Amino acid sequence: MSTVERVRLLQSAEIGKVLGDLIGKPVQVKELPALKTPDELYAVASYAHDDGSIAAAFGLDLSVAASLAAALTLVPPGVAADSIRAKALEPMLEENLHEIFNIAGRFFSSPKSPRIVLKWTGKPSDATLKKLWLTAPTRSALELTFAPYKGGKVAFVAH
């Protein structure tokens, strides 16, 4: 792999379409200022090149994490709301969130981008992840809404 290859992030409308297709509901997308750190996010996934080096990351705040995880398997919005109030996802929603992170690798996929794969998911406190967030040249944040679930903020960074 050439060191000059860069991971490309899909356009915001394309991200909304991928998520909408995934949960079977239209997803409205609003662009926000990029986040400087992942600290306000609930969970983050990192994606790696074939050689294991971190290439990109995708994170969600608790509201959208609970809502997307619930919508994925048609769990009622009230269950997502309960998780938001408890400030933690129920185990089933955590499993669904991991599947969303797996599919979200598509956000960084294009014919001109190098191949990447899901490497790690967890809380945004990892030092390597924080370094990526500070140094990545590609960064984006979006507000997602998809009724009847609560929306929230998602953020992306890529090298």
Length of the chain in terms of residues written: 159
Q: Is residue 2 part of a domain?
A: no
Q: Is residue 1 part of a domain?
A: no
Taking only the tens place, the pLDDT of each residue in 52-82 is: 888 999 999 999 999 999 999 999 999 999 9
Taking only the tens place, the pLDDT of each residue in 90-139 is: 999 999 999 999 999 999 987 878 889 999 888 877 788 888 899 999 99
Q: What is the pTM of this model?
A: 0.92
Q: Is residue 5 part of a domain?
A: no
Q: Is residue 25 part of a domain?
A: yes
Q: Which domain CATH number covers 129? A: 3.40.1550.10
Give the side-chain half-sphere CA count within 13 A for 35. Answer: 24
Q: Is residue 32 part of a domain?
A: yes
Q: Specify the number of domains making up the chain.
A: 1
Task: With residue 155 as reference, give the H or E element that holds it.
Answer: strand 149-158
**Domain containing residue 50:** 12-158
